[in-house]
Structure 1
Amino acid sequence: MSTPLAGKVAIITGAGQGIGRAIALRLAKDGADIAILDLNIEKAQMVIAEIETMGRRGYATSTDVSDRDSLHAAVERAEKELNGFDIMINNAGIAQVLPLLDVKPADFEKINNINIGGVLWGIQAAAASFIKRGVKGKIINAASISAHKGQPIFGVYSATKFAVRGLTQAAAQEYARYGITVNAYSPGTVGTEMWEQIDRIMAERDGVAIGDSFKNQASGIALGRPSTPEDVAGFVAYLAGPDSDYMTGQSPLIDGGMLFI
């Protein structure tokens, strides 16, 4: 069995569940040792236990990605525990279902601090380590279809994901001279805990049955089904592996055919 990431170490934020968990398991399957940085340490440790049954090394630590010092310190701990790292995946993020008129300062600050701040601090921590150690590492960020087309009632969420695209492009240019690549992945409608939460909010708002909003979102997908976390993880494995070495500054859609732009 081919293991394209054998000997590599990946740090993944927000990998205790959903897409992050699927990414962690896929990269471990491909040969990487995994560190998970997650606010929910119990869930993170459960994923690490799965990874260790695959014969990979694993490490989990509680981290608030919106706090620069917390995230930088967690990356340093993971680097020390696993003797370095080669891949940084800034996956952690939250959704927000609010019409623009209803957004309050606290709502705005929270989602920006996590979705933009968490990516920026992760880029910083990884790049500083890669440059110091002379590692031609890979930084991979979580964008969204909403990073390519702003979505109504997801207005500020969309803005944060557009910001992730901008950070990805800027970082790719800043760090190219060090051999560091920076890319992002843009999922569509994915069956995760996050979408279950979105669906409940939209059901209450629109007076429809739970599940209807998710079905409506998925109905326009060309390939005829919503995405699974594993669909996204497969693409992230490509970004983390050697076949993407000549790719940088990009945020491709992995949405089954929702947007064509």
Structure 2
Amino acid sequence: MAIDTTAPAGGQKVALVTGSANGIGKAIVQKLAADGYAVVINDLEANKEKAEAFAAELKKQGHKASVALADVSDFEQVKNMVNSLDRLDVMVANAAVVAPVDFITDDHIDGWQKTFDVNLKGHLLCYKFAAIKMIAQGWGGRIIGASSIVGRKPEPGRMTYSATKWAIRGLTQQAAFELGKHKITVNCYAPGLINSELAQQYMASSPVAAEMMNAVINTSAVGRIGEPEEVAALVSFLVSDGAGFITGQTVSIDGGIVFT
């Protein structure tokens, strides 16, 4: 869905955040709107009502907001979503699914394909079409992805999810290497356990999942779960002018679980 701004580079900047009808994505949209961006809320058709209600709430607050429904794992849907925008300055590839608890010795790979399609292919498509549009615009931009602490440090039962998050780090570095000459920076954030719907669903999926997540909290330096607004604050900095010399990086925001 096109944003109602046709301003050139000096006009209002536009930020698209995928998977943003709730959770971390919603907090990122709220923060970027407060920072002065015209925001595009992306989510699946199934979350249309949530996305539209969120957009209406932002408009009441005086922000520019619109909804773009698309499945990030679908090539044509992502291409059409990005191309429908009058301009794009920030792409935040936040959408993700969490695979069920799985181990390398399991006699199945249930959830493997869907998790890779959404998490990794989804990032590739968002990076790809955002980059094409930003290059055509000619004034650069910011691309942000979503890795995880399990993209830095293995945890029991996270085989599939971890594999996608490690791969996102590599994809981010490659994209940063290719796009720097176009004044486009590419970075990603690596959250620990964050108080979001996705984390709550995972913890409720099995006693093993809940036990593992509680162990993560207990081993962190700050000893608590993080909040979506804390991740949003990091993204706000990474897309700011002050972060123009930062690219190809994965920034941990995990309360001190992984020290790098």
Instruction: Give TM-score scaled by structure 2 length.
Output: 0.90
Distance 1:158 1:242, change over 3 A: same
**Residue from 42, 50, 66 that aligns with 1:43:** 50
Distance in 2 between residues matched to 1:212 and 1:106, nearest whole Å: 21
Partner residue, 1:33: 38
Q: Equivalent pairs: percent with the same residue?
A: 37
Distance in 1 between residues matched to 2:73 and 2:174, nearest whole Å: 20
The amino acid that maps onto 2:237 is Y
Following superposition, the deviation at residue 197 of structure 1 comes to 1.2
**Residue from 7, 11, 26 that aligns with 1:21:** 26
Distance in 1 between residues matched to 2:107 and 2:67, nearest whole Å: 34
Indicate yes or no: 2:74 matched with 1:70. Answer: no
Distance in 2 between residues matched to 1:213 and 1:113, nearest whole Å: 25
Distance in 1 between residues matched to 2:167 and 2:219, nearest whole Å: 26
Distance in 2 between residues matched to 1:225 and 1:251, nearest whole Å: 22
**Residue from 127, 133, 136 that aligns with 2:137:** 133
Q: Deviations over 1:154-211 (max 9, x none)?
A: 01111100110001000001011111100000000111111111111232x47xxxx6
1:219 aligned counterpart, secondary structure: helix
Contact preservation (8 Å) 1:28, 1:54: no
Following superposition, the deviation at residue 106 of structure 1 comes to 5.1
After superposition, the CA RMSD in angstroms is: 1.8
Partner residue, 1:240: 239
1:89 aligned counterpart, secondary structure: strand
Following superposition, the deviation at residue 98 of structure 1 comes to 1.6
Total equivalences in the alignment? 248
Contact preservation (8 Å) 2:156, 2:212: no
**Residue from 184, 189, 201 that aligns with 2:205:** 201
Q: For 1:206-217, what aligned pairs fall within 5 Å after superposition?
A: 213-217=212-216
Distance in 1 between residues matched to 2:49 and 2:104, nearest whole Å: 35
Q: Deviations over 1:54-75 (max 9, x none)?
A: 2111110211111111111111
Following superposition, the deviation at residue 224 of structure 1 comes to 2.5
Indicate yes or no: 2:65 matched with 1:61. Answer: no
Indicate yes or no: 2:204 matched with 1:187. Answer: no
Following superposition, the deviation at residue 47 of structure 1 comes to 1.8
Contact preservation (8 Å) 1:190, 1:229: yes
Instruction: Give TM-score scaled by structure 1 length.
Output: 0.90
Q: For 1:78-89, what aligned pairs fall within 5 Å after superposition?
A: 79=85, 83-89=86-92
Name stretches of at least 5 consecutive residues in structure 2 with no aligned partner.
1-10
Following superposition, the deviation at residue 100 of structure 1 comes to 2.5
Contact preservation (8 Å) 1:182, 1:249: yes
Q: Deviations over 1:92-137 (max 9, x none)?
A: 0011122233374552111000000000000011000011111210
Partner residue, 1:93: 96
Name stretches of at least 5 consecutive residues in structure 1 with no aligned partner.
1-5
Distance in 2 between residues matched to 1:165 and 1:193, nearest whole Å: 23
Distance 1:74 1:109, change over 3 A: same
Partner residue, 1:3: none
